[in-house]
Chains A and B, each alone.
Chain A
Amino acid sequence: MRYKLDLDIEEVNTDRRDFLRRAATVGGLAIAPGVILYQTGAAKPADQAVSSQQRWGMLVNTNVCQEDCDACVTACNEEHGLWDLGRPETDAQWIRKLNVKDKQTGHVTSLPMMCQHCENPPCVDVCPTGASFRREDGIVLVDKHTCIGCRYCMLACPYKARSFVHEPLQDQLPHSPRGKGCVESCTLCVHKVDRGDNNTACAEACAKDGHQALLFGDLNDPSSEISKQLKQHGGTQIRADLGLNTGVRYQGI
């Protein structure tokens, strides 16, 4: 029964096998300095490595985020095959809508909360096997081949951004492999990033609904829209006191 995950992996198409192999490679080499060989699929030339020249991130404008909208959540669930089993306590949630109410004024801010892709991620620090890792380009991932499911990273994450896969999985999506007994969280749609989409499923859905509350981009590129926005209007980190230098920033909080 335990080998189910591996069998599943063999069944799916090459794309996903490649992803897993890559993920494993990165997991193994994550501590090596400099360039990490993270070969990607068709969209990106194989010789082009993931590098620290980029730092992928996200800007959330809570001023335009609607309290009753959860398009980003639905899009994420569909993109990654996070099927709702009707058990909210144990179902995976990579992104959630959080309502924050000021007790004094009664003002409610609604915002999406997900892995903040910390530059100094506590989840990576505590992971005993190194399964939690941060790619050179700032995306924090879990290597499904080395995650033993100890859940220490879930305790360490200050944003409660991680979910444990509590049940056997069916109908997995090839580009977003999951594993029973492993921990997972927002991948910043790494498969889309590597494909060159330059966007995430949640940000696309938000834009499609006309809200434009989510902006994905390269924080290291001064000419990117996200950098310009941040430079002009600023952006806050949630729990900045922890000094994690998050890749997800918020406006309007």
Chain B
Amino acid sequence: METTRFSSIDANSLQYWILLGGLALATLVGVLAAHHMDLEGHHISGMSNQIVWGFPHVAAIFLIIAASGALNVASISSVFGKTDYKPLARMSGLLAIALLVGGLAILVLDLGRPDLLIVAMTKYNFKSIFAWNIFLYTGFIVITVIYLWMMMERKMNKFIKVTGFAAFLWRLILTTGTGSIFGFLVARQAYDAAIMAPLFVIMSFAFGMATFILVLMASYKWTHRTLGDVMLSKLKNLLGIFVAAILYFVLAYHLANLYATEHHGIERFILLDGGIYTFLFWAGHIVIGCLVPLALVFIKPMSQSRGMTMLAAGLVIMGGIAQLYVIIIGGQAYPLVLFPGMEESSSFFDGVVAEYTPSIFELLLGFGGICLALAIVTVGIAILEFLPESLSDKALSLDSARSNSI
């Protein structure tokens, strides 16, 4: 019986080089935009002393949590023993690393002093969850590389399970850590919630799966390999479950907040009268990011169409970005409360909702990071054997029959 055959993709086509060239160019433009902000100072960005984390952080945090979610497929196969997903495990590891690198690149380039990165790498304040995250991120990359190596080197295959388990645990901690960055901000009404960490974990599952589906479909289509319905519908159903879970957690978060009187202000702001944030919450996050994809994934006949699955994955990503925009920027825009129940005003925008419009430089930087991640995948699958030659229904049934018989 035959096992899955992996091979690198053929990089000699014009289309391949156009794709890679485009991604590289967009990455370069992102770097230049960041450099320009760095030279001129951040006043040319949309950020201010009120909104200190802008669109680049939205993009970066999206990529970082999607990275840990992208590793899901690999975890399902090696940790939970679902061998059907095994052929996809390598790709899942590659995508995870690529997304994380893209996200980290944005974070670093958006620092006020990116030249002091070496300080960030050598001086740690262990009380800071941010410092812990630096370890978590580098550790994630190292563990995933080892995990990939175990999978790709036949001799090492016996270690797949234990490294897979390590990677799985690590990435749960990583996303919890990312969520905690916000959870620790006790004074900010929007973030002062323990549910932030599990919410981020479940968001990572959904965003990672959506990205994985899109990348997988595109790479199989463009390389003329077969992606069978069986595999795709499994992934699609998982995506649907994760999206439903996000809805559940978001509901729990807002209900908990509505229960506490001190949070009524921020709840009103997000759910009712926060302008762009209210709009992004309902239209972007809830409708486009959750309800529509759920319908596309679970209701016939949409659920039977590949195009609709692709659309659903794309919408989950857009909705995810909207959701993070609301959490990160909306949470800062809502004024800090120094004197509960009083009306505050000052020259420093106390008591008023802070304005923020992303500048072109921030958009280019965020977009550049996303393109960097995709470029890494594009190069990766061309030089190493990440992709199975076929994911047709027939190939998969043979494969799982074989694994099950071991």
Contacts and interface: CB of A to CB of B under 8 A. Distances in A.
A158 B336 contact: yes
A235 interface: no
A89 B186 contact: no
A151 B186 contact: no
A122 B187 contact: yes
Contact of A150 (B40, B130, B184): B130
Nearest to B115: A2
A113 interface: yes
Contact of A125 (B53, B128, B336): B128
Contact of A128 (B128, B336, B347): B128
Contact of A87 (B43, B47, B120, B181): B43
A6 to B, nearest CB: 10
Interface bracket on A: 35 or more
B187 A164 contact: no
Interface stretch (A50-58, A91-99, A190-198, A199-207): A91-99
A71 interface: no
Contacts of A100: 338-339, 342-344
Contacts of A85: 43
A165 B119 contact: no
Interface stretch (B66-74, B93-101, B304-312, B348-356): B348-356
Nearest to B134: A128
Nearest to A73: B347
Nearest to B355: A89
B337 to A, nearest CB: 8
A120 to B, nearest CB: 11
B346 interface: yes
Given A128-B130, A147-B112, A160 B39 contact: no
Contacts of A159: 336, 338
Contacts of A99: 344-346
A113 B338 contact: yes
Contacts of B47: 90, 164, 166
- Specify the main secondary structure of chain B where it touches its partner: loop
A202 to B, nearest CB: 15
Interface string A12-53: 000000000000000000000000000000000000000000
B41 interface: yes
Contacts of A129: 119-120, 123-125, 131
Contacts of B41: 165-168, 180-181
Contacts, number: 185
- Specify the main secondary structure of chain A where it touches its partner: loop
B226 interface: no
Interface residues of B, number: 51
Interface in B152-190: 181, 184-188
Interface in B108-155: 111-117, 119-120, 123-125, 127-131, 134
B87 to A, nearest CB: 39
B39 A1 contact: yes
Interface in A147-176: 147-152, 154-160, 162-168
B137 to A, nearest CB: 12
A90 B359 CA distance: 14
A155 B128 contact: no
A233 interface: no
B12 interface: no
Contact of B52 (A93, A122, A151, A182): A151
Contacts of A125: 127-128, 184
Interface string B315-341: 000000000000000001000101101
15 contacts: A73-B347, A85-B43, A90-B49, A96-B348, A98-B346, A122-B185, A127-B130, A128-B120, A149-B113, A154-B49, A155-B52, A160-B338, A166-B48, A168-B40, A242-B186
Interface pairs A-B: 9 shortest CB-CB: A149-B112, A181-B112, A158-B187, A167-B41, A89-B48, A166-B43, A128-B130, A151-B52, A130-B125
Interface of A: 1-3, 73, 85, 87-93, 96-103, 113, 122, 124-130, 145-152, 154-160, 162-168, 179-183, 238-239, 242, 253
Given A102-B343, A181-B41, 7 more contacts: A1-B38, A122-B186, A128-B124, A128-B134, A156-B187, A157-B187, A181-B42
Interface of B: 38-43, 47-50, 52-53, 111-117, 119-120, 123-125, 127-131, 134, 181, 184-188, 332, 336, 338-339, 341-350, 355
